A and B are shown apart, each in its own frame.
Chain A
Amino acid sequence: MIRTAPDEMAGLKQGEGFLSLRGLTRRYGPFVAVDDFNLDVAKGELVAFLGPSGCGKTTSLRMIAGLVPSSSGHIVVNGREITEVPPYRRDMGLVFQSYALFPHMDVARNVAFGLEMRKVAKADAAARVREAIAMVRLTGKEHHRPSELSGGQQQRVALARALVVRPSILLLDEPLSNLDAKLRDEMRNEIRDIQKRLGITAIFVTHDQMEALTICDKVVVMNHGRLEQVGTPLEIYEHPKTAFVAGFVGRINRLAGTASGGIAEAAGVKVAAPGFTGPVEVMVRPHRIVLSAGAAPAGGDLHQLSGTVARATFAGDILEYEVEAGGVLMKTEAATRGGETVHAPGTPVTLSWRPQDTFVYTAS
């Protein structure tokens, strides 16, 4: 394991956040699971780790919890370096992807476990356990074994067990992945409410972008063990820094093109591309495209592309098109207002969108 010398990290200790990660790296042999992870999380913030399967989300979380040693880098909590501190002295709550409830204990004893380890007085502990179980709406199930609970109930016990000790940092590893859509929605908001109410700093691992965007203050997008972008949900969605982020968060259309002299040309459309030269990817989100029948009207400063409808899908609240234009299939979607005509395949149409809705990236 390679570690930087103490004097080298003296400056790192004054991390800007409550939780700071500095150059956190984890290798498995030659494979780098997490590569040079830097992050600052403010107190009381809910941060999402978002990325495709295998990108290193769980590994990062386990390093923060102390269950996996880091290959290099530092973890600082509240100005204190904890990289070498064992997990049982880190004061963090971890909700496992698989819940990991103790099968030999009932709900109440599972929840009480952390308090017992912290030697909280019996009466006080009992009151807190009751409160935590009520908070996750499981009152009456105290004496059930985990095996007698549904997936959603187990997930709530795991949450109560992690929350009852009032950890300084709560780590949630895809806690909603095993729930149905409705319960998922409910639990998502419940986690958000509890976290805000108790002022807990939390990291929420997910590969569901909806989850990340809707409840988190900040989103960390990861890919192949590397941090792609950190920002508010709005920043991530409206100003994706890399082609990966643009493609992973939300839906996107991609046009291949080339740039020179600050202008990129893709499928005949010229877009501003300051600082780019060579092959580029031009991207635009489907619902930012306006589709109109017939030839292009003089569009002013709008980007325009003409093509023919390949497929129209009426999905009730939205109307989706796939349009063959510039050699690719461009997707568009628009909320239905009632009364619009659904263009049949083969209809010539024009796609137009605003310059500010256009993203340009160097082609990979």
Chain B
Amino acid sequence: MSAIALPARSARRIGPTGVVMLLLLPIALVNAVGFLWPVVNLLRMSFKETQATGALIDTVSTATWATVLSDSFTLDLIANSVGVSLFITLLTLVASYPIALYLHRSTGLWRTILLVLVIAPLLTSAVVRTYGWIAILSSQGLIANALLFLGITPPRLMFNLTGVVIGLTEILMPYMILALLSGFGRLDPRFEEAALTLGATPWKTFWRVVVPLTAPGMALGCLLCFVLAISSFVTPKLLSGGRVFLLATEIYDQAIVTLNWPVAATLSMIVLVLFGAALALYTRALRRIA
């Protein structure tokens, strides 16, 4: 008996907590070097200033923060970005929900095929997909030509907010569908059947049973898509034609074009704060759902 017990004991010399710590060490290191250090750098940068000539002043001051937060342009920019991202998130949710529900209920080979179709766009770069949308939405594009053929003057679909919303919604849909699917675990057709036998119409069953049971998936999908939308850069840049001002594109302009690094850093920190707010909202929503 003791001969069996002894090796087990010696194997546990490090203890379970120790093993967990050891396994977490690599990722912790990667995070420290690849995430924490740059963020600290950014934070430090946001407390520097630039001269009128554009030269960087190495000080510690809140001047940049004060300018950014009192400038009505940047305040509008923040409000606009949040609003557009929320709208895109909502649109993505509405467009993805039926697909996710259908996928959740399908089985066998058909389900595999559908899943591959959902994931396939993720294997293509967002840049390529955005160019695809340009081909469809531009004034010489697919939709415009089709409408012209029908004798309708096509509305402007690109180089404005419409184009950005359409493009980002499509690009974010796979993430939303996968997040929804991962949160549909509690949804059992038996609950819907129970509701039906209790006299609930399919419509009532959907709102009273299906929606509440899928709420965790919706919350996760919305968090993910909001974060991705507000930080997305390539698609808004290409589809807005510089006419739509969003946080990510503005940060790029400040950092690369204007070379005003403190402002870019300050705006980046604001995005980070928005992420934090979204995450807090998500955890609160999740606690209310559960």
Contact = CB atoms under 8 A, between A and B. Distances in A.
A66 B198 CA distance: 12
Nearest to B211: A104
A88 B197 contact: yes
A218 B200 CA distance: 31
B243 interface: no
Interface residues of A, number: 26
Contacts of A65: 197
B108 interface: no
Nearest to A97: B190
B196 interface: yes
A335 interface: no
A102 B209 CA distance: 8
Interface stretch (A113-121, A129-137, A201-209, A252-260): A113-121
A69 to B, nearest CB: 13
A87 B208 CA distance: 17
Given A100-B191, A102-B194, A104-B212, A117 B186 contact: no
Nearest to B196: A87
A103 B209 CA distance: 9
Contact of A100 (B194, B199, B205): B194
B193 interface: yes
A191 interface: no
Q: Which of A86, A98, A103 has the most CB of B within 10 A?
A: A103
A94 interface: yes
Contacts of B190: 96, 98, 100
A161 interface: yes
Interface of A: 65-67, 86-94, 96, 98, 100-104, 113-114, 117-118, 161-162, 165
Interface of B: 186, 188, 190-191, 193-202, 204-205, 208-209, 212-213, 289
27 contacts: A65-B197, A66-B197, A67-B197, A86-B196, A87-B196, A88-B196, A88-B197, A88-B198, A88-B200, A90-B197, A93-B197, A93-B198, A94-B194, A100-B191, A101-B194, A102-B195, A103-B186, A103-B191, A114-B198, A114-B199, A117-B199, A117-B200, A117-B201, A118-B199, A162-B197, A162-B198, A165-B198
